Amino acid sequence: MMTQAFYTGISGLQTYQTGIDTVSNNLANMSTIGFRGYNTEFSSLFERSVNTGANMSDSIGIGVQAQANTMDRSMGSLLLSDRSTDLAIMGDGWFGVTNGDNTLYTRAGDFGFDRDSDLVTTDGYHILGTMGNNINDGVLTGVLNGIPLGDIGSQEKLNFPNSLTYPAEPSTIASFTGNIGTEAEITAVGASVVDSEGNRNHLRLEFTQILPQVGDGTQWDVIATTQNLDGDIIYDTQTGGVEFDGRGALISNTLSSIDNNGAQVTIDIGTGFEGIVAISNVPVSVSSMSDGVIAGDLEGYTIDANSEVIATFTNSMQSSVGKVAVYHFINEQGLDRTTGTRFSKSSNSGEAFFYTDGNGQNITGSSVANHKLESSNVRMEVGLTDLIIYQRAYDANSKSITTADEMMQKALSMDA
C-alpha cells in the first residue's frame, strides 16, 4: 500500500503539472489575437474495489492521468480596428497561411500588405485565397463585383501590384432630360463625355427657336459641339432640328450623334415627354447623364465583409481583385498546434474543405467582419480558478508522497 501511495502521488504530480502548464500557457496568451485556449481532461488509472462490509463497497485508485488537451472552440470577443485588412471570422472556419513550404490555419486575422502589395501576416506568411485574374500587366481588365472561391487545391498567395490602372471607358451615349421652355431665347445645355484617350470633354447643345414658328408647337435648331474643358479645341460640330407639339412633347429630332475626339457619342434627348420637353410656365431646367469613365490610378486595396479584396482607384471606381479563403475541418479538435495561433491538419482533423451553396458553388461558410479582430478566448477568472485548483491538487499529491515516505521510514525502523 505504501508503494502504491508513491505511484499515486507521482502520477498526480505529473498530471497536474500538465494542467498547470496548460493553464499557464492560456493565461500568457490572453492578449494574443486569435488564440484559442486548451482544457486538460483527466481520467483515473485502474481502480480496485474494496468490500467494506454491510453490503457496502468502495474503491481504491492507483493514480490519475492527463487524458487529453482539448481546444476551447468558443469565439473570442471582437476588437475594433482602423484597418480594413483586419478580419475576424464570425463562426467556424480558419484562414489559410503559407510560407511557401507548409500551409497552416489560423483565427488571427491581423493582415496587411507588404511592400510588394502581397497580403501577409505580421511575420510575413502569405494569405491564401482566389485571385480574380482581372489584372494584366498592371491594367485592370474587367470590373468584378464578386469572386467565387476556387477549389481547395487551387488556392494561391494573394498578391497584387503596387501600380494598377483603371483603363478609360469612352462615352457612348449622353442623355438629356428637362424643360427648355417656349420663349424665343437661346438655351444651352451640356454633358461631360469621355474620349478614347481617357480625357473628360464637354458636349454642348444649343437650342435656338426657328422663326417664324408654325402651328401650336415649337420648332428649334440645335447645334451640338464637343470640345475640351478649356474650350480651345473643338472636336466636332453637328446641327439638327427638333420639334415639340402644343403640349410640349418632343415629336421629331434629326440630331443623332457626334464625334468626341475619336469616340462616337449618341445624343439622346428622348421622345414624347421622356427627355427634353418645351412647356411654358414651368421653370427652365435641364440635366444630363452620360456613360464612360476616365482612367484612374490605384489608391489602395481594402477587404470587405465578404472577404473580397477591393481595389479603389482615383476615378472613384472599384473592383474586386481577389477573395480570402475560409477553410473548414470535420474535426477541429484534431488540428495540431504548431505555434500559439497556428495549426496544421492531421489524420484526426481530416482534410480542409469549403462549404458549398445550393448550386454547388464554394462559399466561405461563415461571415467575415472587417475592421475587427478576434481576441483570445481565454477568460482570466476561469484560468486563475483552474490554476488554484491544479496547484492545490499538486500540493496534495506532493504531501501524499511525503507521508508515504515517512511511513516507509517508520516501517523500516520498526524492523530494525
**Given pLDDT bands bounded at 50, 70 and 90, which one contains residue 317?**
very high
**Given pLDDT bands bounded at 50, 70 and 90, which one contains residue 343?**
very high
Q: Is the pLDDT of residue 190 over 80?
A: yes
Q: Is the pLDDT of residue 5 over 80?
A: no
Q: Is the pLDDT of residue 311 over 70?
A: yes
Span 255-304, pLDDT tens digits: 999 999 999 999 999 999 999 999 998 899 999 999 999 999 999 898 88
Residue 180 class from Cβ within 10 Å (0-12 exposed, 13-18 middle, 19+ buried)?
A: buried
Q: What is the pLDDT of residue 324?
A: 96
Q: Which of 13-27, 97-111, 117-131, 202-216 has the lowest mean pLDDT?
A: 13-27
Q: What is the pLDDT of residue 381?
A: 81
Distance between CA atoms of 74 and 92, rounded to whole angstroms?
9
Give the mean model confidence (pLDDT) for residues 377-382: 85
Q: Is the pLDDT of residue 155 over 90?
A: yes
Q: What is the pLDDT of residue 410?
A: 73
Span 125-150, pLDDT tens digits: 999 999 999 999 999 999 999 999 99
Q: What is the pLDDT of residue 44?
A: 65
Span 39-60, pLDDT tens digits: 876 666 655 555 555 555 455 5
Give the mean model confidence (pLDDT) for residues 67-86: 86
**Given pLDDT bands bounded at 50, 70 and 90, which one contains residue 62?**
low
Q: Is the pLDDT of residue 372 over 80?
A: yes
Q: Is the pLDDT of residue 400 over 90?
A: no
Q: What is the pLDDT of residue 176?
A: 97
**Given pLDDT bands bounded at 50, 70 and 90, which one contains residue 24?**
confident
Q: What is the pLDDT of residue 208?
A: 96
Q: What is the pLDDT of residue 387?
A: 79
Q: What is the pLDDT of residue 414?
A: 72
Give the mean model confidence (pLDDT) for residues 219-235: 95
In order of start, what are the domains of the chain with their CATH numbers?
A: 2-73+376-415 (no CATH), 78-154+322-374 (no CATH), 173-290 (2.60.98)
**Given pLDDT bands bounded at 50, 70 and 90, which one contains residue 179?**
very high
**Given pLDDT bands bounded at 50, 70 and 90, which one contains residue 392?**
confident
Q: What is the pLDDT of residue 84?
A: 85
Q: Is the pLDDT of residue 379 over 90?
A: no
**Given pLDDT bands bounded at 50, 70 and 90, which one contains residue 101?**
confident
Distance between CA atoms of 168 and 196, rounded to whole angstroms?
7
What is the percentage of the chain residues whose pLDDT exceeds 70? 87
Q: What is the pLDDT of residue 386?
A: 77
Give the mean model confidence (pLDDT) for residues 297-323: 92
Q: Are strands 296-303 and 165-166 parallel, antiparallel or unpaired?
A: antiparallel
**Given pLDDT bands bounded at 50, 70 and 90, which one contains residue 26?**
confident
